[in-house]
Amino acid sequence: MTQDLKKTQFERRIIFLTLFIVVTLPLIFPLGLKTEITPLVQNAYDMIETAPDSSRIIISFDYDPSTITELQPMAQAIIEHCWRRGHKVIATALWPQGASMADAAFSFVIENGYKDKQYGVDYVNLGYKPGGTVTLQALGRDFQTIFPSDMKGTPISEIPAMQGIAKLGDIDAVMSLSAGDPGLMAWIMVASDKYKVKVSGGTTAISAPGFLTYVNKNQQLIGLLGGLKAASEYEKLIGVKGKATVNMDAQSVAHVLILVFITIGNIKAFRIRRKTRNAQMN
């Protein structure tokens, strides 16, 4: 093994160890850093807040466990917000594991102060359907063809929360929590553009810039929750100190550490360049 390779590997280990310590400490000893509400999150919040009482809102769980750190706190906060406003929550999933994510999110919120919420009346989990955009297009024509029953096998005609919903256009708003495709993009293309249903959503921080083009005057997308910071902003708006708020401290410190690494890397590169130039001149 060459000296340079050994040095690189040593540096990597130092970076990994430092990052591990820096991420762990704020999780054990929260810093309580303040979060500022951004317009994108405020708009998403307002969509739920200003919806008429007892609105039927679809929360689509279009993600799997790999992104729960960012998306599950959003789901929990949105469910809590919907229930506070007296809305009915209809959970769907365009990803196979989404139905389990929905179940976990409902259980969490129920355990944390909403034990009076009844399955079938205040919320329902319709489960996973394959097909992405095509499934949503079919939902636009007839809800019952795509979801004849919920996860428990109860026909949707017998579920109180589903009464009066014949097609996608009967839904008051959609929140798609999306980790990729199919997900928020499909909801924008079908529910928002074609059936004029209000659509908002949440994505991982890395995907959020790609969706900003849809936040426009035509309101293809009403607000956007991008990553853990947006989840912590939503928690602040509903007055809850949840997982996102706590984890945000760790993420903030980790980002600053990455900036420090970039600075050190640049100083190192500058010194190497200067050394090489001097050697060439000599």
Residues near another protein (CB under 8 A) are 8, 11-12, 15-16, 19-20, 23, 33-36, 38-40, 64-69, 97, 99-100, 103-104, 125, 129-131, 134-135, 137-138, 141, 145-146, 151-153, 205, 209-210, 212-213, 227, 229, 232, 248-249, 251-252, 254-259, 261-262, 264-266, 269
Dist CA 191 CA 174 (whole Å): 8
Cα–Cα distance, 80 to 86 (Å, whole number):
10
Question: Would you tell me how many other CB atoms lie within 10 Å of the CB of residue 18?
Answer: 13
Cα–Cα distance for residue pair 218/199, rounded to 1 Å: 12
CA nearest neighbour of 31 among 228, 231, 254, 259: 254
Strands (E), the chain: 56-62, 88-93, 123-128, 173-178, 198-203, 225-226
Of residues 94 and 171, the one with the C-beta less far from another protein? 94
Comparison of 176 and 204: residue with beta carbon closer to another protein: 204
DSSP class of 128: E
Give the nearer residue to another protein in terms of CB position, either 146 or 173.
146
Query: From the CB of 175, what's the least distance to another protein, in Å?
Result: 21
Min CB(52)–another protein separation in Å = 29
Residues near 116 by beta carbon (within 8 Å), at least 6 away in sequence: none
Please say which residue, 55 or 236, places its beta carbon nearer to another protein.
Answer: 236
- Least Å distance between CB 134 and another protein? 5
69 vs 144, which CB is nearer to another protein? 69
Minimum distance of another protein from residue 276's CB (angstroms) = 13
Tokens coding 42: 């405020």
CB of 190 to another protein, least distance (A): 12
